[in-house]
């Protein structure tokens, strides 16, 4: 059989200088958009999943502003919103088992999302 390299959009060159990773176009034909967990009472048209390390660093930065924290059903889930730049926000979601997930979002989409969050009977603002 003849080897056929996958079609790729992106090559990642790591610090070691010779490790290259190809990202296969065909694995994500549905768009690969990140989605928030179903328990979250809003959806955003532009959201990206962030690594734990990047999310943690971003929300701990001295220029980041906390916008609020909400708790779902007696603290099983929590959701925090942060303004990172004038255009970028971070959504931190803590699962019932304590895992923190981070998502990048567009600041302009957060106003409506915060209204939906505050209108939800299942979510209570704690900060």
The whole-number pLDDT of residue 111 equals 86
Q: What is the pTM of this model?
A: 0.73
- Res. 2 pLDDT band, cuts 50 70 90: low
At 42-52, the pLDDT tens digits run 999 999 999 99
DSSP sequence for the chain: ----PPPEEEEEE-TTSS-EEEEEGGGGTT-------TTSS---SSEEEE-HHHHHHHHHSTT-EEEEEEEETTTTEEEEEEE-SSSEEEEEEE-TTS-EEEEEEEHHHHHHHHHHHHH-TTEEE--
Q: Quick check: 15 pLDDT over 50?
A: no
Q: Quick check: 1 pLDDT over 60?
A: no
Domain ranges of the chain: 47-125
């Amino acid at each position: 059989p003849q080897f056929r390299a996958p079609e790729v959009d992106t090559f990642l060159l790591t610090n070691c200088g010779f490790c290259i990773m190809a990202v296969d176009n065909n694995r994500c034909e549905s768009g690969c958009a990140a989605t928030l967990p179903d328990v979250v009472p809003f959806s955003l048209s532009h959201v990206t999943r962030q690594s734990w390390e990047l999310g943690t660093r971003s929300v701990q930065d001295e220029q980041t502003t906390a916008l609020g924290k909400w708790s779902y059903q007696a603290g099983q889930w929590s959701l925090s919103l942060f303004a990172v730049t004038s255009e970028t926000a971070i959504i931190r979601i803590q699962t019932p088992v304590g895992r923190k997930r981070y998502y990048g979002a567009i600041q302009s989409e957060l106003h409506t999302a915060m209204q939906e969050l505050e209108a939800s009977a299942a979510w209570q603002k704690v900060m």
